[in-house]
Structure 1
Amino acid sequence: MHTRKNQRNLNRTEKRRLVAALLELKRSGRYDAFVSLHGEFYNADGDKGPRVAHMTPSFFPWHRQFLLEFERALQAVDPSVSVPYWDWTTDNTPAASLWAEDFLGGNGRTADQQVMTGPFAYANGNWRIEVSVTETPHLTRKFGGRGGTVTLPTKNDVARALQDPLYDAAPWDSTASRGFRNKIEGWAADGVGKGNNHNRVHQWVGGMMLGATSPNDPVFWLHHAFMDLLWQRWQQQHPRSGYLPAAPLRAGDPQRGRVYGLHEKMPPWDTTPAQLLDHGNLYRYA
């Protein structure tokens, strides 16, 4: 049992050890394997084949397993390390502690969005982008998005999503107008508009966080640890509500074979959403 802390509560030694483990995973090639995996399973509504990671009910359990696999890889390097979470409703400016020189580094420079500070700066020689839809070799960020007008989600944005007692609803994709999953993933028009919560964080960080290979930016893991924590909070707030769809979709449903029911095995691990509803025997949040 290990604890995932708020990143703002990490001490200097904890930050140093996490950074060192990240750099070792990168050096060994294992980090880029996780980037490739996320890119492989990022299928949108209109793409052919199953949708298991995004725009789908299994968004939460799939990413829970993804984070667990990544965390175990980190702990194989340093058993003291765990994935911290970034509460972007509170630490919502470029001056927040996670962007410090001794942790994740800061914003990209104006000319090409290249991150010039911190341990993941290309100039340090330890963080070359190998898996991406572009040929850019360096980590990029553009806080506030391309126009500089994107803001991070607020506590009220999150609260609106948490209030929905329904986990997900047909048509089980980015157009679902009801359900916590789509509201927190950020596609549903919930009074704020599309591009909210999870999605808006990716947009605010910008750069490498915009695409299917967003794990190229180490902040991806801190962001998704917070998403995992929000799923836990939703479960606590709605104890009588559960994962949907509970059963495989009926024959003739256009989403059959594309969306994963409670007891259907999610690739690439052959783990079901039901097996990932509770993380209490694996880790806890502080």
Structure 2
Amino acid sequence: MTVTLLFFFYHFFVIQCATVEERKKFNLHENRKIESVSENRLPAIRGRSSETVHSLKTWFPTNVLECMSWECVCDHVEGAKWIKKTCHMPGGTIMRKEVRKEYRMLTISEKRIYRRAFLLANKPGGIYNILSNAHSDSSLSPAAHNGPHFLPWHREFLKRLIIGIRLIEENGKYPFASVSLPYWDSSLDDHMRERLNISSTNSVLFSPHLMGSVVKGILVDGDFAGFVGNHGHTRRELDRFGRKIGLLKRQDVERMVNSYNITGVLSAAAGSSRECTKKLPRNALELLHGNAHVWVGGSMKLTRNATNDPIFVLHHSFVDMLWERWRKKKQNSKERESQWNDMTKCYSSHHKSSAVMKPFGLLTGKDGCSNKYAEMTSYSPIPKCHSFCRSKYLYCHEGYCVSRLKPNGQCRIINRIDPCYRSKCTARDGHIGYCKPYKTLQSIRDTKKSVRQKTSKKQLRLETCFNMHECCNFWGKQGECNKRSNAMSEACPLSCGVCKAKTYNNRDDCTDRHFNCEHLRKLGGCKTSYPFMAENCRKTCGFCSRRRNQNCLAPPSVKQILHSKKTAKQARVKLRSLFT
């Protein structure tokens, strides 16, 4: 059923959306027999026609991929109901506005379901397989690159991809109706090259834990190990050109968002004369985006093969995010849909505002600037340091959340902050070392009795059993663990016996139980997270002058317990990156 539906997507994407003249120009690579496919499998909205289409104001979709709202998509699904800005799909799943997150911010379940959906979409006849063919062939997509159509064309590409993914059907259900495309903020990885003076290839993103590592140029592990696209296995040649070509820098991103005009954003990247090339901003968005393609290398380096790497979607999702940030900051609602790069002599006729974005039916470049896209998709920003970066793959450095380093990769410690993921940097402060995995460290320490103290510090770093309130011991003695077991087990797991502390004595009233108390204090945790800090960082915060139970003269109220339970969940999210 899944393959059948995706095959119909191909039919409407390439054939139904085109005029008769355009269809003759299409090069259907895989000799698909489209004549036998019924044209009624993906019906248009009831009672509507699209025969005379000139703008989005009078334009109605002839198939689901042309929809410009999730309500329209919902209307195409038999048995689905649109209620209060959400689509209730057959099988019980919910489809609503897409929210794109940085890949390192995805939960385990979000990452797992996206991976599964993407692999299905990549199968022959799947929506990603179809879109990849269009991207690879310049005769099908003459305006996809080197001009103002670049951004709107890829925005439509991503829109059709997520619609196709969400409508993958399995046994009459739509298990991917809530999936969103993630993005890759490569400035998080460029930070280590700029500030730590080590290659961005050491990022945890390019490790078995996330987007995978390569052996002899082939992707061998990670979330998309062994991925095979339209042009064979995914290949990468990370950072082949050293300091000459890098990823997007935070400074370049902010400069683009804050200062560029429409000519710099919807740029004529190729240029047709010296005059055009001189007027082109050095950090035009299309050119900046190209640096990441070259840096990743392999499949990503050439346009015809770029979609062969799953990171292609993440990268272009980030580029689209930057464009939307600029639009909201520099343009009002009307300007977003009307302004265009008017230097027509600097780009081909395919990039004019009125030119059709082939092969996306009758949509023009101006249509690709519609505000309707923002109504379908939003972006979750990268978290700030004050929220503990909210990801075990990120850490705070120089006021910004940046990527951690992969085990066995190079590392450098600055201001005594260890940047390694599930490993420890072997270097002294300011020097270069490598991230030694914890298991390797433990085996070395076990063979040397003289380093027992270091082993204790290693265990302290991995301690995960903490009470979330200074009154937990008092409440436990009052029998609250039995009276309110569910709430107390969340707020006071140590006092209620849910877990056991390995590195500290629960009776000690003047000690730092958490390994990173000093860092938390600098972030203002002694005030903003008082209950947690009064329990676990008493020495650093100066709370040793009074006993823990001094303010715990009465059993907790139900409201107080529930608040502690909520605080416990929030604290675990905030501190998760510090426990690993």
Report TM bin, short chain: 0.7 to 0.9
C-alpha separation in 1, matches of 2:307 and 2:313: 7
* SS class of match (1:222): helix
Residues 300, 309 of structure 2: 8 Å contact kept: yes
Query: Which TM-score applies when normalising by structure 2?
Result: 0.40
Unmatched 5+ stretches in structure 2: 1-96, 169-175, 191-199, 381-580
Residues 38-89 of structure 1 deviation map (CA, whole Å, 9 limit, x = unaligned): 011389xxxxxx8411110011100000011111122123112111111111
Residue 101 of structure 1: aligned partner: 208
Aligned length: 253
Per mean C-alpha deviation after superposition, the further-off stretch among 62-71 and 138-147 is 138-147
How many angstroms does 1:156 deviate by?
Answer: 1.2
C-alpha separation in 2, matches of 1:152 and 1:171: 20
* SS class of match (1:284): strand
Residues 164, 179 of structure 1: 8 Å contact kept: no
Residue 340 of structure 2: aligned partner: 244
Residues 268, 280 of structure 2: 8 Å contact kept: no
1:216 to 308, 311, 326: 308
Change (3 A) 1:150 1:29: same
Residue 231 of structure 1: aligned partner: 323
Unmatched 5+ stretches in structure 1: 44-49, 132-136, 187-196
C-alpha separation in 2, matches of 1:12 and 1:181: 39
Residues 154-193 of structure 1 deviation map (CA, whole Å, 9 limit, x = unaligned): 111223333122335999342344467971111xxxxxxx
Residues 1-36 of structure 1 deviation map (CA, whole Å, 9 limit, x = unaligned): 121112121000000001111111223442332221
Residues 145-164 of structure 1 correspond to what in structure 2 (within 5 A)?
A: 145=240, 150-162=245-257, 163-164=259-260
Residue 236 of structure 2: aligned partner: 141
Residue 179 of structure 2: aligned partner: 81
Residue 107 of structure 2: aligned partner: 11
Residues 52, 266 of structure 1: 8 Å contact kept: yes
Residue 152 of structure 2: aligned partner: 61
Residue 191 of structure 1: aligned partner: none
C-alpha separation in 1, matches of 2:101 and 2:267: 35
2:286 to 172, 182, 185: 185
1:130 matches 2:230: yes
Residues 198, 227 of structure 1: 8 Å contact kept: yes
Equivalent position amino acid for 1:11 in 2 = T
* SS class of match (1:91): helix
Residues 219, 236 of structure 2: 8 Å contact kept: yes
Equivalent position amino acid for 1:75 in 2 = R
Residue 568 of structure 2: aligned partner: none
* SS class of match (1:281): helix
* SS class of match (2:350): coil
Higher helix residue share: 2
Residues 350, 356 of structure 2: 8 Å contact kept: no
Equivalent position amino acid for 2:102 in 1 = N
Equivalent position amino acid for 1:2 in 2 = E
C-alpha separation in 1, matches of 2:249 and 2:163: 31
1:201 to 286, 292, 300: 292
C-alpha separation in 1, matches of 2:121 and 2:247: 29
C-alpha separation in 2, matches of 1:223 and 1:153: 11
Query: Which TM-score applies when normalising by structure 1?
Result: 0.77
Residues 199-236 of structure 1 deviation map (CA, whole Å, 9 limit, x = unaligned): 11011111100111201101001100110011111112
Equivalent position amino acid for 2:208 in 1 = E
Equivalent position amino acid for 2:235 in 1 = T
Residue 377 of structure 2: aligned partner: 283
C-alpha separation in 1, matches of 2:249 and 2:111: 26
Change (3 A) 1:147 1:100: closer
How many angstroms does 1:104 deviate by?
Answer: 2.4
1:91 to 175, 185, 189: 189
Residues 22, 74 of structure 1: 8 Å contact kept: yes
Higher strand residue share: 2
Equivalent position amino acid for 2:158 in 1 = L
Change (3 A) 1:95 1:12: farther
CA RMSD of aligned residues (A): 2.9
C-alpha separation in 1, matches of 2:262 and 2:166: 35
How many angstroms does 1:90 deviate by?
Answer: 1.3
Change (3 A) 1:18 1:172: same
Residues 148, 267 of structure 2: 8 Å contact kept: no
Residues 168, 244 of structure 1: 8 Å contact kept: no
C-alpha separation in 2, matches of 1:63 and 1:181: 21
1:118 matches 2:197: no
Change (3 A) 1:143 1:217: same
Structure with the bigger RCO (C-alpha within 8 Å, sep 6+) is 1
C-alpha separation in 2, matches of 1:168 and 1:155: 18
Residue 263 of structure 2: aligned partner: 167
Residue 268 of structure 1: aligned partner: 359
Equivalent position amino acid for 1:81 in 2 = V
C-alpha separation in 1, matches of 2:241 and 2:377: 37
Change (3 A) 1:148 1:75: farther
Residue 25 of structure 1: aligned partner: 121
1:259 matches 2:351: yes
